[in-house]
Amino acid sequence: MKNMRDKNSTNSGFTCVHCGREVPPAATTARNHCPFCLWSLHVDESVPGDRQSSCHGQMEPAAIFQKRTGWVVIHRCEKCGKEISNKCAADDNFETLLNLTTLQK
């Protein structure tokens, strides 16, 4: 499935490298993090779903904030330190998202 913002992006399922669970493709955009533990891999370079990054470090869910359009999680790469903001998906574990708010204080 292609990302609606970029004709070259991909959306596929994967096995989470952090928790080991099978993650299905997202319904409307490129899946960029595990909906169970919220961890990600640094695989996108400049556009969600482009899969052009050569880093491939694990990205920890470091913070969360709310925008007018919904919740956003900030992932920080453990390998290179890059921070990337990602929209939360409807199937993200909300309890895990809420636990991120306590980490920020």
CB 15 within 8 A of CB 31: no
Is 85 among the domain residues?
yes
Q: What value does the mean pLDDT take over residues 34-57?
A: 89
Is 73 among the domain residues?
yes
| Cβ neighbours, 10 Å, residue 31 | 24
Is 49 among the domain residues?
yes
Total-model pTM: 0.79
Is 80 among the domain residues?
yes
- The whole domain housing 83 covers 14-103
Is 99 among the domain residues?
yes
Is 1 among the domain residues?
no
Is 83 among the domain residues?
yes
Count of the separate structural domains present in the chain = 1
pLDDT-based confidence at residue 58 (cuts at 50, 70, 90): very high
pLDDT beyond 90 at 81: yes
